[in-house]
Amino acid sequence: MWRRDFLFGAATAAYQIEGAAGEDGRLPSIWDTYCATPGRVVNGDSGAVACDHYHRWESDLALLKQLGFDAYRLSIAWPRVIGLDGQLNPRGVDFYKRLLDRLQQQGQKAFVTLYHWDLPQHLQDRGGWLNRDTAHRFADYAERIGRELAGRVSAWTTLNEPWCSAHLGHGEGRHAPGLADTRYSVEAMHHLLLGHGLACAALRSSDRAPVGLVHNINAVSAASDSAADRQAARLAHACSSHWVLDQVLLGRYPEAMRELWPLAEPPVRDGDMETIRAPLDYLGINYYFRQVVKSDGAHGFVDAPLPGVERTQMGWEAHPDGLRDLLVEFRQRYANLPPIYITENGMASDDHVQAGRVHDEQRTRYLKRHFAAVDEAMRQGVDVRGYFVWSLLDNFEWAFGYEKRFGVVHVDYQTQQRTPKDSALALQAFFTRRAQTA
Ligand code: FCB
């Protein structure tokens, strides 16, 4: 039984849905550049048009309301709202003001992320997250936009998934800016988290809404019971969960990271860890899958996917119990664990419209099983306050382009027609029942 104040929401991110990449003074971001680099994104896709949400936001928000969500998680495009001179761009800001005002009129809460990976390209040209100054530019953006949108936001998020920005973007080259060196990912992570800490203070000086960070986690299991594989799983788990959480909640860099990457030292200066450990009003958790690993024969780990398990269109293993177990583990590990929102959970499937319907049974089942996992964690004492499905709409899935469909609403990219999938209708029915019984 879900408490009435438990929030059910849907999530999106600016670059994945907005389009209008060159309109109203928006500057290029690292994702525009990455998409324009041959071979980086499937089919050479980009977010230039995406779901055209910049022009269709009114009908998209009407749909969000019609489906019965309590809340909406969106991100602000940094290059849309801050100009080259560091000042606000009023035309970009107005877009978000109108959108947030409409959400308020509709009685839906707004969870607003400042950085969902779209760094202005001109900052990348000066080193991006490898340059300590970017953390200060981020705090400056947070302060300006915080002041401008104060009173319209229910909760602020500084960064979405710094792990992906740092590791996929700088360690593996699978995301923008496309660098591939472990030392870069460790440096970028430090500057991202420093930016997070500085932005927490900036937001708190501008607005009264709660401030948090969103971190992606995945369950990790060892491929076998051998000591080497168990050690590999320990390091993989530290890399995916503790690398970020130990820093923001405990103010320390985990030893396991030094074991994993002995040559990569974060560029910590005096006082940085105190800044990074700024108290969080809440922690956002994004969860999708389990990773099974084995030893790489040296000091690291490699993926060793299990055969015969349920997988999604991404090839990710559906493993709801992992979400429950991780939440319970965090409660034990971090005495100061703040209230949690599941800020993303969902799956991609190869969905098609047939006679006006999209039969995505696997998604409905997936969501139900993850709701149950969250419920079990709450029964074991974890303070979870809300759950956001990823995503409201099918959208630009980063390096996978438009092939992977994560929406509960189908998007036909030729016509921009939206069709709620069966999973959206199931959620709508669930929200209606909940409202009647609360
Ligand atoms: C997360 C991202 C989100 C989306 C989902 C599938 O890592 O935050 O933008 O791409 O994965």
The answer to whether 246 touches 273, Cβ cutoff 8 Å, is no
* 58 among known catalytic residues: no
Looking at the CA of residue 161, tell me the nearest atom of ligand 1: 8
**CA–CA gap between residue 280 and residue 339 (Å, rounded):** 9
Q: Could you tell me where the DSSP H helices lie in 150-299? A: 162-163, 182-206, 227-237, 243-245, 255-260, 272-276
Is-above-0.95 flag for pTM? yes
* 259 among known catalytic residues: no
- CA angle at residue 321 from 318 to 324, to 5 degrees? 125
Best substitution site from 159, 286, 370, 395 to test ligand 1's pocket, by max atoms within 8 Å of Cβ? 286
197-222 in b/e burial notation, b at 16+ Cβ within 10 A? bbbbebbbebbebbbbbbbbbbbbbb
Residue type, 79: P
In the structure, what pLDDT confidence band is assigned to residue 437 with cuts at 50, 70 and 90? confident
Which of 161, 187, 317, 397 is catalytic? The answer is 161
Please give the mean pLDDT across all residues of the chain: 98
Which of 18, 187, 317, 344 is catalytic? The answer is 344
Does residue 388's CB lie within 6 angstroms of at least one atom of ligand 1? no
Q: Is the peptide bond before 177 cis (omega within 30 degrees of 0)?
A: yes
**CA nearest 7: which of 382, 422, 436, 371?**
371
Q: Which two tokens stand for residue 271?
A: 């006082």
In a domain, 234, yes or no: no
CA distances from 139 to 198, 205, 272 (A): 5, 11, 14
In a domain, 263, yes or no: no
Q: Which residues contact 373 (CB under 8 A, 6 or more apart)?
A: 320, 321, 322, 323, 324
CATH of the domain at 390: 3.20.20.80
Task: Give the residue-averaged pLDDT of 217-223.
Answer: 98
In a domain, 269, yes or no: no
pLDDT in tens, 47-75: 999 999 999 999 999 999 999 999 999 99
pLDDT in tens, 353-391: 999 999 999 999 999 999 999 999 999 999 999 999 999
| Structural domain that includes position 66 | 7-216+303-437
Does residue 113's CB lie within 6 angstroms of at least one atom of ligand 1? no
DSSP state of 352: -
In a domain, 297, yes or no: no
pLDDT in tens, 306-363: 999 999 999 999 999 999 999 999 999 999 999 999 999 999 999 999 999 999 999 9
In a domain, 246, yes or no: no
Does residue 164's CB lie within 6 angstroms of at least one atom of ligand 1? yes
Q: What is the pLDDT of residue 79?
A: 98
Give me the number of domains the chain comprises: 1
Best substitution site from 161, 165, 392, 402 to test ligand 1's pocket, by max atoms within 8 Å of Cβ? 161
Q: Is the peptide bond before 391 cis (omega within 30 degrees of 0)?
A: yes
Phi/psi at 386 (5° precision): -175, 170
Does residue 134's CB lie within 6 angstroms of at least one atom of ligand 1? no
Q: What is the pLDDT of residue 249?
A: 98
Checking if the pLDDT of 1 tops 90, the result is no
**CA–CA gap between residue 90 and residue 173 (Å, rounded):** 34
Does residue 165's CB lie within 6 angstroms of at least one atom of ligand 1? no
Checking if the pLDDT of 208 tops 90, the result is yes
Looking at the CA of residue 160, tell me the nearest atom of ligand 1: 8
Does residue 291's CB lie within 6 angstroms of at least one atom of ligand 1? no
In a domain, 226, yes or no: no
pLDDT in tens, 91-114: 999 999 999 999 999 999 999 999
In a domain, 271, yes or no: no
Question: What spacing in Å lies between the alpha carbon of 437 and ligand 1's midpoint?
Answer: 33
Instruction: Give rounded-to-5 percent helix, strand, coil for the chain.
Output: 45, 20, 35
3-state SS record for 375-408: HHHHHCCCCEEEEEEECCECCCCHHHCCCCCCCC
Does residue 390's CB lie within 6 angstroms of at least one atom of ligand 1? yes
- Pick the residue whose CA is nearest to atom 10 on ligand 1: 397
State the virtual CA torsion across 40, 17, 177, 305 in degrees, nearest 10.
Answer: -60
In a domain, 292, yes or no: no
Q: Which two tokens stand for residue 85?
A: 């001179």
Task: Give the residue-averaged pLDDT of 224-237.
Answer: 98
**CA–CA gap between residue 185 and residue 189 (Å, rounded):** 6
